Amino acid sequence: MATASECTIYGLDGATATTITFKNYQPFVYLVGSNIAVTILEVAAIYVQVGKGDDGEDAPMIPRVVLVVVDVAVQMLLCSATGAVFAAVR
């Protein structure tokens, strides 16, 4: 029986061949980790861009070039992770 985290593959003779998990596929693990990092970076960028503190103070001001660097880093992480998954499939 397959679950969300592991799958057992049976051979043609009915014997258990192997059990695999998502951790066996490193590009998938990289994709999940990259998506987590991207989410954190985007939330931080949105907070810095438009956020306000609890007492009405503005969020810390940083140069806009930092937001551009974060945006480029997000795109780089997503593209490299997706490319790694596509390359592993072939």
* CA 27 – CA 5 distance, rounded (Å): 16
Quick check: 6 pLDDT over 70?
A: no
Residue pLDDT, tens place only, 14-23: 666 677 677 7
* CA 84 – CA 34 distance, rounded (Å): 11
Whole-prediction pTM value? 0.61
Q: Which amino acid type is present at position 14?
A: G
* CA 28 – CA 84 distance, rounded (Å): 8
Higher pLDDT, 49 or 55: 49
What number is the average pLDDT over the span 36-46? 86
- Is residue 70 very low, low, confident or very high in pLDDT (cuts 50, 70, 90)? confident
